[in-house]
Structure 1
Amino acid sequence: MLALGALVLGTSELGVAGLLPRIGADLEISAGAAGGLVSVYAVAVALLGPPLAAVTGRLSRRRVLLGALGALAVGNGVTALASCFPALLAARALTGAAAAMYAVTALAMATTLTGPERRGRAVATVFGGITVSAVIGVPVSTLLGDVFGWRAVYGALGALTMGVLVAAVRLVPEPAPEPPSNMSSRIRALADARLLVTFAGNAVVTAGHYMASTYFVVLLTRQTGLSTTTVGVLLLTSGVSGTVGTIVGGAAADRHPRRGLSTATALLAISLAAIPLVITSPVLIWLLALLWAAAFNAFSTAAQVNVSLQAHPAADVAAAVNISVFNVGIAIGSAFGGLVLQLAGFTGIALTGAALALAGLTATLLVPILAPAPASRPCQADLRTAR
């Protein structure tokens, strides 16, 4: 149920990219201005997610989840009905804030309902909804937009979100309450040096991935020589591979959180570094794309689990911060990728992305060095006194 909500969320977020030409033509704005719909959504997620998680931390998680779904439905509905560009921007900001709140709450509820020993698989299940939205939801919304128009797509998404809300009311239970924690302990957890290094590493790795992935289609059509249809099939299979990576990353995070995160990051760096070597071979670039997609999705899942483990008792706010960190990495990677493309071409993008992934891997390996020393064990005399 939580994954289904994530699927609707992901389609609402990612589907707008394929609808931008029609939105621009309908509202008589430029393609660059229409692209602001993507930016305002990301900004809302990055800026509003953490404070909303902090404010709602003491409320019933079930009520927060249902409220987020309701706000998401309203945001999609207003998007469908917006008659001017400012109203559309406001609707996208509302949708982004609701999505951030839903994602954080769904992740927290999933891990609570399944127990700590299945935390990684719970996160993978919720994240899997977003991954599937990229594979299925986005192409379907683009196709429906071509046939029925972009407003019909977001009207349908609003109705679908309401359907998920009704189902969640009936099916999603109230999880067991978390142990109470005071504000000072939550602040100390968020300010811990290990967690700050983890956030920085996650942002850097995400930036490296999106620096290359943003321009991957251009690379395939111009350098590898693949047709548009073949590129579409390649992206579809990469999405399936990414879904598998999400599942594997979740299972690995349950067994060895840090090792799973390090392995996924290393595979991502290797994939990016190998792009210049196979750039002219359609078969090899296809196989490399499958490994690349699986590695990044495994990294994303393991990174979220790793943050939750480090940030107790502020895991909910830390999860929101980490989602913001991902969005910051996306913005930085896609923006600087265009500059690197102009200066160093596709090879430069791939190698720079690999270097960023290696920098993030270094941060991951550095975290245990920053870990505090374990508390000293009581001496035998103390134990005898206690008895």
Structure 2
Amino acid sequence: MPLALYLLALAVFAMGTSEFMLAGLVPDIASDLGVTLGTAGLLTSAFALGMTIGAPLMAALSRRRPGRSSLLCFLLLFAAAHAVGATVSGFPVLCATRVVAALANAGFLAVALTTAATLVPPDRKGRALAVLLSGTTAATVAGVPAGALLGTLLGWRATFWAVAALCLPAALGILRGVPAPASTRGASGGLRGELAQLRRPRLLLVMLLGALVNAATFASFTFLAPVVTGVAGLGELWVSVALVLFGAGSFFGVSAAGRLADRRPGLVLAAGGPLLLVGWPALALLAHRPVALLALVFTQGALSFALGGTLITRVLYEAAQAPTMAGSYATAALNVGAATGPLVAAAALTGGLGDTGPLWASGALIAVALAVAIPVRAVRAAG
């Protein structure tokens, strides 16, 4: 794989740390800013909503610009948003900085996904995407737990500062390592033609399934800290352990699925979907047992990212006739799910199900995905 892919993954690592780090910081943010736990959890939805809107918007605005300069602009804007977020004293302003950061993240990821697909042969998009997404999974293994630990020791604001600082070496790496010719985003055909691809039922179906799987992932991941400290009765430092295990499972899942996403996507979806459906209720029922909790966190991380990564790879294949916008469609699908999941989880959290409510919500979302996929033979269509 080209070196440029790994440099893009480094930047995705910084952004993934920010996107996922709230799972370990929600209780502290809620306490510091005087809002409820459910309200603080909506920061994740605000971020995902900004990414959903920003992915196609930013991709459209930057489609005629060289990929390298677009990537640098988005990354530096992302860093600035976190520096401002670290200094705010009110929840609405913090929420606004998350939206700005999300717009920058969306633009970056949309350009990066499209760039990654151009750096490899057409039949290796799945592997290229696995490398790129390894930045996200590495964030859950190292960046997010480190952020949670830093937040525990120095407060949540220190984590925001750390993310801003992490963007700087990533920007330097992109400037020196991403070749301008390979990243140039000269469009073939007009924007209207690329947007017309969204009328294709198969593309929309795969995007819907990807959104549902990611919604399930974020529904539980956003509120994992209360499960660890409340239901399982473990100390706050065990939140970092749980996040590491989830991230390790994610890394394993996306890496394994990356080799199958190009050739055997139906196998990944047909085998992983039912297992993921069983896993979320099992986690809810066994969350009070620390050993079972930690084991299932690893398993669900692996299955979630294996399915999610495979479905997003299929988006790139199905949107092959939209070369500059395909990455934005994949990003939008991911973040429709990331925005919806915490909203559903927050409702379950306050609806009488207690701290395990988000886990049950994740199971329900996967059940909806399977209910959509099975009657229309979506697995076979994706293959």
The verdict on a shared fold, with TM-score over 0.5 as the criterion, is yes
Distance in 1 of aligned mates of 2:31 and 2:290: 35
CA distance in 2, matches of 1:40, 1:186: 27
Q: Identify the match of residue 183 of structure 1 among 186, 191, 194.
A: 191
Q: Is the 8 A contact 1:197 1:367 kept in 2?
A: no
Match among 168, 177, 181 for residue 162 of structure 1: 168
Ranges in structure 2 where 5+ consecutive residues have no aligned partner: 1-6
| Residue 30, structure 1, aligned to residue 35, structure 2 | yes
Structure 1 or 2, whichever has the larger Rg, is: 1
User: 1:201 touches 1:359 (CA, 8 Å); kept in 2?
Assistant: no
User: Does the Cα contact within 8 Å between 2:228 and 2:234 map onto a contact in 1?
Assistant: yes
Residue 95 (structure 1) aligned with residue 104 (structure 2): no
- Alignment match, 1:361: 370
Match of 2:121 in 1: 115
What's the TM-score, normalizing by structure 2?
A: 0.82
Shift of residue 241, structure 1, vs aligned partner:
1.5
Q: Which moved more, 1:229-238 or 1:105-114?
A: 229-238
Provide the residue aligned with 2:270 in structure 1.
262
Matches within 5 A, 1:50-61: 50-61=56-67
CA-atom RMSD in angstroms: 3.4
Partner of 1:294: 302
Structure 1 residues 32-71: aligned runs within 5 Å: 35=41, 37-71=43-77
**Whole-angstrom distance in 1 between the partners of 2:239 and 2:93:** 35
Inter-partner Cα distance in structure 2 for 1:19 and 1:217: 8
Alignment counterpart, residue 75 of structure 1, candidates 76, 81, 91: 81
1:333 pairs with one of 322, 329, 341: 341
Q: Retained in 2: the 8 A contact 1:121–1:250?
A: yes
Report if the CA contact (8 A) 1:304-1:319 is conserved.
Answer: no
Q: How far is 1:190 from its partner?
A: 1.2
1:346 and 1:125, CA in 2 relative to 1: closer, same or farther beyond 3 A? same
Q: Which structure 1 segments of 5+ residues have no match?
A: 372-387
In structure 2, distance between residues paired with 1:225 and 1:331: 28
Q: Tell me which of 166, 173, 176 is aligned to 2:179.
A: 173
Q: Distance in 1 between matches of 2:126 and 2:132?
A: 10
Determine the structure 2 residue equivalent to 1:320: 328
For 1:316 and 1:47, the matched residues in 2 are separated by: 16
* 1:370 to 1:267, Cα distance in 2 relative to 1, 3 A: closer
**What CA deviation, in whole Å up to 9, does each residue of 1:10-34 have, x standing for no partner?**
22333355445665676x5435665
Query: Which secondary structure state, in structure 2, belongs to the residue aligned with residue 252 of structure 1?
Result: coil
Change (3 A) 1:294 1:38: closer
128, 132, 139: which one aligns with 1:133: 139
Shift in Å, 1:294: 0.4
SS at match of 1:312: coil
Amino acid at match of 2:122: P
- CA separation in 2, counterparts of 1:152 and 1:67? 24
Cα distance in structure 1, aligned partners of 2:230 and 2:127? 39
Moved more, 203-212 or 43-52: 203-212
